[in-house]
Amino acid sequence: MVGGPKRLLYEKVADVEAINNLFRAKTGKAYIDVLNEKTVKYRFDPKMGTGGTFGVNYPHYRDLLPLFGYKSIYMPKEERIRHADLVLELFWKPFQREVFEKTKSWYNCGEPCPVVCKKVWRGKKVDYESFHAVGPFIGNYLFEEAVPLVDLIDRLGLDAIEMGHLVAWLFDVVHTSLLKPEEVGIDDTPAFEPSKFNPVDDSRKNAKLAARLIENFVNNATEVLTLIARNGIRKAARELEKKFQDRVRAVGHRFRDLAVYAAFGAEGYMTPNFYWAPGLIAPMYIQGRYWSNYNPTFMPPEDFAKSAYERAVAEAYIDNAGICRFHRGWAEPVLADLYGLTGVKPPTPSLYRDIAYYSKLAGAEPMPWESKRSRDLVSTLAAELGAKEWKFEDYDDYYEWWVRYKAHLDKLVFS
Ligand code: SF4
């Protein structure tokens, strides 16, 4: 759990008694007790009867889970609950039965760690993000159909989150007739309308189309896929809007409007982890690795920027120490003391500022939301949570929230 190339902290923090004394002084409890308490979600939470990111996230987030490339944000709560129940039955339960009731196959990542967060289903390590990417996020509610897709993505060396976004985006683009199926090398239109979704038949169909799409993507099978493979979603969407202006006019929205990403500089972008969380596409200098407030929450821009900045600095501190972030619950409050015990100099608190400054010099600063679905992710959650002051009635409202957030973040980062 304390790694890194030189494993500095690990080597130096070998005096278990000193660590125990530190925890007793700070918390009144032994180190291992605090560790077990703070990592319960990743090991096994007896209150929930499950553990690990996959085990916990489905029952925990339920109707807040993003489905169908975030189209779920437009669904009424009762409809989202109906879908969440299907996901729990078809996607979560097969895993739960096998990994928690039958085999209890839990492992560590290779570090000597008692959390054993790696939950293994018939030889396949199951994490929330990679399975959700090719599961409910692309309109596949069958766990068994997701397993070969995760295998395929792993074998091809692709990033599962990015591929989930890519497949969901292209499914939606084909579904809305911005592209024809053959333009991405598939022979059918994906089932991408949640209200008409047949959870078994349509899941099988979507999983089959996703496998074909991923294979086509890596093989440059069509001109459109080559464009996307070379440029990424953000730039490719702009090119496709120029190429298919007539379709954009006929359909009534742009290619980019169906994608969700945080934009950086002129061409950069990051697709978010699978949470209905404005903090994952808010203007932060690093996205894609939880250096933000990724709770499903909404606040005025200055308050949100402050909470996200504080999380970013704390996550950076943990990352920089080479500590697995699943241990942040116990490690964050004592990290400065641990550095004290080791004699290793703590990193400069300006790490995040240095990264932000570099982003500015590199022309990779966060940019305002470009896609309708990204903006809607923010406004629908605000409405869901009953935000009174922010109604997001037109683009100016989004822009104002974004600009005020960014200005406050910069004040915190650079002052
Ligand atoms: S909690 Fe972190 S260190 Fe422990 S097994 Fe999981 S990934 Fe490895």
Q: Give distance in angstroms: CA of 109 to centre of ligand 1.
A: 5
Pocket of ligand 1 (CB under 6 A): 1, 42, 108-109, 111, 113, 115-117, 324, 326
Domains defined for the chain, CATH in brackets: 1-38+260-415 (no CATH), 41-259 (1.10.569.10)
Q: Which of 2, 117, 127, 325 to mutate to test the pocket of ligand 1 (most atoms within 8 A of CB)?
A: 117
Closest residue by Cα to atom 4, ligand 1, is 113
Closest residue by Cα to atom 8, ligand 1, is 109
How far, in Å, from the CA of 299 to the mean position of ligand 1? Answer: 32
Q: What pLDDT is attached to residue 384?
A: 97
How far apart (Å, rounded) are the C-alpha atoms in residues 160 and 153?
Answer: 6
Instruction: Residue 294: name the closest of 302, 322, 284 by CA.
Output: 284
pLDDT at residue 188, rounded to an integer? 98
What per-residue confidence (pLDDT) applies to 5?
46
Of ligand 1's atoms, which has the minimum distance to the CA of residue 117?
A: 6
**Are 174 and 106 within 8 A, CB to CB?**
no
CB-count burial class (<10 Å; 0-12, 13-18, 19+) for 17: exposed
Mutation test of ligand 1: which of 106, 129, 324 has the most ligand atoms closer than 8 Å to its C-beta? Answer: 324
Burial class (CB in 10 A: 0-12, 13-18, 19+), 230: exposed
Residues 261 and 273: beta-carbon distance below 8 Å: no
Atom number in ligand 1 closest to CA 39 = 1
Question: How far is the centre of ligand 1, averaged over its atoms, from the C-alpha of 324 (Å)?
Answer: 6
Q: Give the atom of ligand 1 at the shortest distance from the alpha carbon of 1.
A: 3
113 CA → ligand 1 middle, Å:
6
Sheet order of strands, 106-107 included: 106-107, 118-121, 124-126
Question: Residue 391, exposed/middle/buried by CB under 10 A (0-12, 13-18, 19+)?
Answer: exposed
* Residue with CA at minimum distance from ligand 1 atom 3: 1
Name 78's Cβ contacts closer than 8 Å, sequence gap at least 6.
Answer: none
Give 273's DSSP letter: P
Choose among 342, 262, 358, 247: nearest CA to 308: 262
pLDDT tens across the length of the chain (415 residues): 554 544 555 555 667 888 899 999 999 999 999 999 999 999 999 999 999 999 999 999 999 999 999 999 999 999 999 999 999 999 999 999 999 999 999 999 999 999 999 999 999 999 999 999 999 999 999 999 999 999 999 999 999 999 999 999 999 999 999 999 999 999 999 999 999 999 999 999 999 999 999 999 999 999 999 999 999 999 999 999 999 999 999 999 999 999 999 999 999 999 999 999 999 999 999 999 999 999 999 999 999 999 999 999 999 999 999 999 999 999 999 999 988 888 887 777 689 999 999 999 999 999 999 999 999 999 999 999 999 999 999 999 999 999 999 999 999 999 8
Quick one: which atom of ligand 1 is closest to the CA of 114?
Answer: 4
Specify the DSSP class assigned to residue 29.
S
Ligand 1 atom 6 nearest Cα: 117
Alpha carbon of residue 242 to chain centroid? 30
What pLDDT is recorded for position 342?
Answer: 81
Q: What letter represents residue 155's amino acid?
A: R
Q: How many whole angstroms separate alpha carbon 45 and alpha carbon 248?
A: 48
